[in-house]
Amino acid sequence: MLYRDIPKFIIKRNMQKSAQTGIYFDYLVTDSVMGQICVEVTGRRDYDVEFVENDYSDEFLDAKYNQGRLAILQYHNTASYISFSDEKCEGRNSGIQSVPTAFNRFYSNAHDDKQLYFYFLPCSGNNATPYYLFMYRLMKTAGFNFINIPPSLSGQITAFSSIDDIIRARKENGDRNSGNNATYIIKNAPHEYEIYGKTYGANKYDTSLICYAISKLAQPEDHIVLYEYNEKDLKELPAASLEVLNSMGNIEIIKIDDEIERRELEENDSLRSPRFNAHLLDRLGERHCVLCNCRISEIIQGAHIWPVSQIKHMNTLSLDEKLSYATDGENGLWMCQNHHKMFDSNILLLSQTGEVSYKQDLSDDDKDYINSITTVSILPQQLVTPSYVNYIGLRYSRASD
Ligand SMILES: [Zn+2]
């Protein structure tokens, strides 16, 4: 790389859709924007700038359009990657869709002396929603420095201190009773984490960012698995994101596919099925016991209504049919370990209309105990679907076998 005595910006003019939108980077990134960035990044006011076309390439830029909404600012031997917010913040994550690409380009570049920044351009729409704030905090955690922070976000963009801290923020801000999130982070035991990440459409941006932040925070003793969850098409995360995650090296990436599910079904009666978990997250949202509202992640499990042990022994079903029943989100409820065990042992019973009861021949002490820990007497009615009724029927028609 050329040693630069005077700071120099090199910026690709064209965005992916500039020809359609008529918006180019030399229009968005004005002298006053560059002046502010230059002072902040280099401490100097004077700079050179070159807006370059698609065919230009150097150590930092490929012969393509502007990927990652980036400007490269070179000064002395330092390359600063500055990613710019989108001019629209209208959709759920339209304002940050370029961020994973910017991160990937920064991370993959072999130059040693480099820094990563984010600059807020004026935008239409609200970029101070809880969703955006969560994403900015992930960016900060992953290594972005914010050059200018809008007053509405002032003081709020702090890095997460641990993976548990991310999970906590998610629970506090998230839409926790429905499966609207693109990504769920689950803690199964100390140092055991699972990330369920949708990879289709705009979800991939959320999933990528969450993984980068988690990877930065991971401790050597942590075991972290990303389950790529994709029912709509066959795409995984973009190749560049997978490559970066692989080179970060502390998240195991597993694609949920039929092969894994078959193995789980053949080897286990209970449940380590990633697809079942993903379906439950989609349908029921953040995990909490449906019978006592316990939210302690390490003890929440997916409980089958029609048990896997029964499904497996249905000789009339093909393997594919068994798999489909065993992983159906409608065939499950979140329960804490206590309630799951009592449900599996038929100490605790659920009726076809969702009422909770228990076995009649229990001692009064046991009944008192169950009453004291079971705060829900009837399932929320949105869970009592025709499929639920069907699965409860199947469960108890064979319970005596
Ligand atoms: Zn419970």
How far is ligand 1, taken at its centre, from the CA of residue 189, in Å? 17
Assigned CATH topology for domain 160-255: Transcription Regulator spoIIAA (3.30.750)
CA–CA–CA angle 47, 53, 58 (5° rounding): 70
How far is ligand 1, taken at its centre, from the CA of residue 290, in Å? 7
User: Poorest-confidence range of 101-105, 168-172, 289-293, 371-375?
Assistant: 168-172
How far is ligand 1, taken at its centre, from the CA of residue 312, in Å? 26
Checking if the pLDDT of 38 tops 90, the result is: yes
How far is ligand 1, taken at its centre, from the CA of residue 296, in Å? 10
How far is ligand 1, taken at its centre, from the CA of residue 320, in Å? 31
Computed over every residue of the chain, the mean pLDDT equals: 91
Per-residue pLDDT band at 401 (split at 50, 70, 90): very low
How far is ligand 1, taken at its centre, from the CA of residue 208, in Å? 32
- What pLDDT is stored for residue 264 in this prediction? 82
Question: Residues 58-74, buried b or exposed e (16+ Cβ, 10 A)?
Answer: eebbeeebbbbbbbbbb
End-to-end CA separation in angstroms for the chain: 74
Checking if the pLDDT of 149 tops 50, the result is: yes
How far is ligand 1, taken at its centre, from the CA of residue 334, in Å? 9
- Pick 40 or 257 by higher pLDDT: 40
Rg (CA), the chain: 26
What residues does each domain of the chain span? 4-153, 160-255, 288-401
| C-alpha span between 201 and 288 (Å, rounded) | 28
How far is ligand 1, taken at its centre, from the CA of residue 332, in Å? 14
- What pLDDT is stored for residue 91 in this prediction? 65
How far is ligand 1, taken at its centre, from the CA of residue 359, in Å? 17
- What pLDDT is stored for residue 202 in this prediction? 80
pTM: 0.91
- Pick 189 or 271 by higher pLDDT: 189
* DSSP 8-state assignment for residue 355: B
How far is ligand 1, taken at its centre, from the CA of residue 134, in Å? 29
How far is ligand 1, taken at its centre, from the CA of residue 283, in Å? 18
How far is ligand 1, taken at its centre, from the CA of residue 337, in Å? 7
How far is ligand 1, taken at its centre, from the CA of residue 375, in Å? 8
How far is ligand 1, taken at its centre, from the CA of residue 229, in Å? 27
How far is ligand 1, taken at its centre, from the CA of residue 267, in Å? 27
How far is ligand 1, taken at its centre, from the CA of residue 112, in Å? 51
| C-alpha span between 25 and 53 (Å, rounded) | 11
Q: What is the mean pLDDT of residues 155-166?
A: 96
| C-alpha span between 214 and 229 (Å, rounded) | 18
How far is ligand 1, taken at its centre, from the CA of residue 300, in Å? 8
1 contacts: CB under 8 Å, gap ≥ 6: 59, 74, 77, 79, 111
How far is ligand 1, taken at its centre, from the CA of residue 344, in Å? 13
How far is ligand 1, taken at its centre, from the CA of residue 378, in Å? 13
* DSSP 8-state assignment for residue 144: P
Checking if the pLDDT of 20 tops 60, the result is: yes
How far is ligand 1, taken at its centre, from the CA of residue 40, in Å? 52
Q: What is the mean pLDDT of residues 322-335?
A: 95
How far is ligand 1, taken at its centre, from the CA of residue 357, in Å? 14
- What pLDDT is stored for residue 126 in this prediction? 82
Tokens representing 264 are 């789980």
How far is ligand 1, taken at its centre, from the CA of residue 82, in Å? 48
**pLDDT digit string (tens) for 340-389?**
999 999 999 999 999 999 999 999 999 999 999 999 999 999 999 999 99
Q: What is the mean pLDDT of residues 94-111?
A: 92
How far is ligand 1, taken at its centre, from the CA of residue 348, in Å? 11
Per-residue pLDDT band at 271 (split at 50, 70, 90): low
